[in-house]
Amino acid sequence: MTEHVVIEDTGSVRLIRLDRPDKLNALTSAMYDALREALAEADGSEAIGAVVFSGAPGAFSSGNDLSDFVEASRHPFENSPALHFIRQLARTRTPMVAAVDGVAVGIGATLTLHCDLVYASPAARFRMPFVELGLVPEAGSSYLLPRRIGLQRATEILLFSEPYDADEAVRLGLVNAVIPADLLLDHALTKAGRLAALPKGPMQATRALIRGDQAALEAAVETEAVAFETRLRSPEAQTAFAAFLNRSRKT
Ligand code: COA
């Protein structure tokens, strides 16, 4: 249990709101556990027809908590709440919608690749700085991103850790629309309501068809996890984590 993930069910829509604004919604192990449980429960429930992910004003999520990465590198990655969440995310059958305001870094960005609909405020800033941190991409992003936007642009985003904003995300086809911040959540909830109102059988069958090769996605998640574990323990990653954490201490 953590107070940093708030679940609110309204009708057939489940809102999963990240609520750790002082750390820009950096995800801890407890938060990953809560997210996984919330998704698994939604998938098992007849009452829930769609899920919305949202964050705090100006912070969708700054990604994995970097002090948690230091701790995670001391344990088998196979047991990590992050990996269990990612596996659940990749196999979730309930349609998912993201409402992204502000920073969406690391898993904060890769999570949105799994969402059926993504809406972003003009202040949204996406970034996948895995290489910069001595890591490799996760959450199936090495599989999903090049297939979505082409290898050339995916290379800039994944190798150079290039950020992209909301307008660019729309151009790339990674975001459906840019919505003013004060209307963003309502917009996402309304779209989720429409998804939830669709007849479940044809909706889920169509969703599976348009998303493509589920087995390949799940295989990519596992391949990434093996490389990720090696990279987590590498001197490059440990140095990058220490640099961020020491910077935080100094400021
Ligand atoms: N893990 C742990 N703490 C984090 C965090 C993370 N991923 N991201 C932000 N925070 C914390 C900061 O340490 C700071 O805490 P403090 O006030 O106790 O010092 C607080 O959140 C605000 O962050 P700050 O860096 O001051 O905000 P900013 O607006 O200047 O910068 C970011 C925002 C997102 C650019 C910057 O926080 C950042 O680069 N975070 C790391 C992102 C990352 O690498 N995530 C992992 C991806 S795999």
pLDDT of 212 = 94
| pLDDT by 10-residue block (mean), the chain, 251 residues | 95 98 98 98 97 98 95 91 98 98 98 98 98 98 98 98 98 98 98 98 96 97 97 96 82 47
- pTM greater than 0.85: yes
Alpha-carbon distance 95 to 158, whole Å?
Answer: 26
- Cα 58 to Cα 66: distance, rounded to the nearest angstrom: 19
Q: Which residues' Cβ are closer than 6 Å to ligand 1?
A: 23-24, 26, 62-67, 103, 105-106, 129-130, 133, 244, 248
The predicted structure's pLDDT at residue 250: 52
Report which protein residue has its CA nearest ligand 1's atom 8.
Answer: 62
- Buried b / exposed e across 170-198, counting CB within 10 Å, b at 16+? bebebbbebbebeebbebbbebbbebbee
Residues 6+ apart with CB under 8 A from 223: none
- Give the strand pairing for 5-10 and 13-18: antiparallel
Instruction: Name the residue at shortest CA distance from atom 40 of ligand 1.
Output: 62
pLDDT in the model for residue 251: 47
Distance 244 CA to ligand 1 centre (A): 8
Cα–Cα distance, 54 to 219 (Å, whole number): 27
Per-residue model confidence (pLDDT) at position 120:
98
Half-sphere exposure in the Cβ direction for 27 (13 Å, CA): 30
Tell me the pLDDT tens digit for each residue of 192-206: 999 999 999 999 999
pLDDT, one tens digit per residue, over 117-134 is 999 999 999 999 999 999
**Domains (range + CATH), the chain:** 5-182+199-250 (3.90.226.10)
Q: Which residue among 162, 246, 248 is best mutated to probe the pocket of ligand 1, counting the most ligand atoms within 8 A of its Cβ?
A: 248
Nearest CA residue ID for atom 9, ligand 1: 23
Output the DSSP codes for the chain: --TTEEEEEETTEEEEEE--GGGTTPBPHHHHHHHHHHHHHHHH-SS--EEEEE-BTTEEE--B-HHHHHHHTTS-GGG-HHHHHHHHHHH--S-EEEEE-SEEETHHHHGGGG-SEEEE-TT-EEE--TTTTT----TTHHHHHHHHH-HHHHHHHHHS---EEHHHHHHHTS-SEE--HHHHHHHHHHHHHHHHHS-HHHHHHHHHHHH--HHHHHHHHHHHHHHHHHHHTSHHHHHHHHHHHHHHHH-
CB-CB contact of 46 with 84 (8 Å): no
